[in-house]
Structure 1
């Protein structure tokens, strides 16, 4: 099974359509089974799309409105594979100009979903409102849950990471009888001890990066970006976790200029693993 996670920084990038094309080329070349994306934006002023235009869309949130420039929708139009997909809004961004959300693409269809807030803040207009999305699918006859999240920082004064992670685990508890792959931007640095990464690792989760037989340095942020202003060090903050000890063949940083074009302020993570 081949997976990709990427914070796409949707519609905040210069030359955005060109970068969407570069991401599409990378996906078409690599033929991922699953793609999870964060900061998947659409302009709130754009017209909504008719359901008949959405392809293999799965409504994990019955109230979600997909608009004409939805980043995932635009990307899908450039992919060779007819992926099944879902998108959920999490909060507004850029003073209400954008709906920011989470998207999951999969070769196989979805048959169930779990969605909920993990932040204490639940006002849509507040940029620190956070949700976790999980969808159930099958890969080679094996049921698997695909979870996607974009979390706050360990020491955030308004929305610290630890209670968000606790709520995420509560939300996913009914799914634990089956494999869960949890992809996303976790905003906690693997190399910093006794903070978010260690807290996650004390629970049931396995980091596919550490399980991988073949891996690189894993860093997905290497400069100062929003949320990590003044950063001068390479950071590993984007992950693919599993609730099982899986056979992970390879973990690679993607879309970093050497393994695919740079299309966002984050690099991606691509992993190849076996579910059984």
Structure 2
């Protein structure tokens, strides 16, 4: 352990699986005390909490779309570990549909989790960060916040807005020592992606097809996103603010499909 986050307290939402879990594990290895979060207290939550141990990690169940629950989570974290230095807004859900087939409830839930949830969490930690004159907020956006894929509405709307919020808040609080940045992953081999491959008619062929679309001819790993979050969370990135970092193997720069 190199201790790049030694002495820091981090809250990582949606951190029981996939990218969020990879970030939580890496942050603990680098010396942080980490508040784990999910809207469910399920087997995945229990596994990662047990793995990381109660001295370095605390699991708090909370729906990021519920502001009182978010504030209670931040208060609980503060009572246990102290003020939060790093917030990673990773919690999110995929909502892909034809615009006219989308129900009002699905629209509201997409915005409530993928956009408003990040704001609720940021709003809850801002007073503590401002009081200590330092803090790093990292929003997990998406390549969908840069490029549009038909049939994926309204997810790209939320992710475009999340990147906009990143820039606005980063500039708003820069002079007070806060940094707000985002990461936009492309295709990353999470449990959800593995499940989608497994549900296809030929999982191996589908995996190979998706890998072949990428310039590097392989699918990204959650740890590769986690290391970028680690850099942004650390003092090494103290002059990076209101920025978005694409992690997609170069896919979004291709001229054609």
**TM-score, reference length from structure 1:** 0.37
Say which structure is richer in strand. 1
